[in-house]
Structure 1
């Protein structure tokens, strides 16, 4: 079951530790890698193509990204799934983070098929990830971490997926 915006914001605030910007206190790199590998395999199976991925991002609160190639999607736009080092947070984007204001705009502009999005969201949910909409992640950051030294306009995306040191 998808979380409401209120529940998602509460989760983001709960995970926000100003002493640990890159990863949480009990971060398990190996377990995160295993989960991420499962996500890559699942998306490859669901879309029937190899998916490019990068993992174990350095100096970032993002763990990695999976890219579903454009030629495997209905609209011909690649789908990018970003995974955070915090609480199994994930984000789904058409083309790249920030290319659209979110999945709603991408769908409205014909860049993201609702069925493709549902396939990715189902995989995330079944694998235990919490999908946080890009629209919410791009809202102003309102937590205790001093992010203004890293970004002119800190966002929740900056906090949980960006480079913050």
Structure 2
């Protein structure tokens, strides 16, 4: 079952440790890597195509990204799944983070098919990830961590997927 926006914001606040910006205190890199590999395999099977990935991002609270190729999607736009080092948080976006204001806008503009989004969301849920909508991640950051070193306005995306 999908979490409400209120529940997701409560989870983001719970995971937010101002002493540990890049990764949580008990971060298990090996376990995160295994789970990420499982997600890659699942998306490749679900979309019937190899997926490129970037992993173990240095100086970032994001662990990695998986790219479902455009030619494997209904609308012909690649899907990017970003995975955080915090609490198995994940974000799904069409083309790239920030290319659209979120999955709703991408669907409205014909860049993301609801069936493709449902396929990715189901994989994330079944593999224990918490999908956080891009629209929520792009809202103003309201937590205890000092994010003033960012040139742009701090967002929840900055906190859990940004570079440090």
- TM-score of the two chains, using structure 2 as the length reference: 0.99
Which range is displaced more, 146-155 or 112-121? 146-155
Q: Which residue of 1 aligns with 2:146?
A: 146
Q: Which residue of 2 aligns with 1:77?
A: 77
Could you tell me which runs of 5 or more consecutive residues in structure 1 were left unpaired when the two chains were aligned.
none
Shift of 1:151: 3.4
Q: Which residue of 2 aligns with 1:2?
A: 2
Q: Which contiguous aligned blocks of 4+ residues in structure 1 show a shift greater than 3 angstroms?
A: none
**Structure 1 Cα separation of the partners of residues 111 and 162 of structure 2:** 24
Shift of 1:152: 2.5
Q: How does 1:6-45 map to 2 (within 5 A)?
A: 6-45=6-45
SS in 2 for 1:53: strand
Q: Which residue of 1 aligns with 2:50?
A: 50
**Structure 2 Cα separation of the partners of residues 50 and 43 of structure 1:** 8
Q: Which residue of 2 aligns with 1:135?
A: 135
Q: Which residue of 2 aligns with 1:116?
A: 116
**Structure 1 Cα separation of the partners of residues 151 and 47 of structure 2:** 36
**Structure 1 Cα separation of the partners of residues 12 and 151 of structure 2:** 18
SS in 2 for 1:136: helix
Q: Which residue of 1 aligns with 2:106?
A: 106
RMSD, aligned α-carbons? 0.5
**Structure 2 Cα separation of the partners of residues 132 and 101 of structure 1:** 14
**Structure 2 Cα separation of the partners of residues 72 and 107 of structure 1:** 16
Shift of 1:150: 1.9
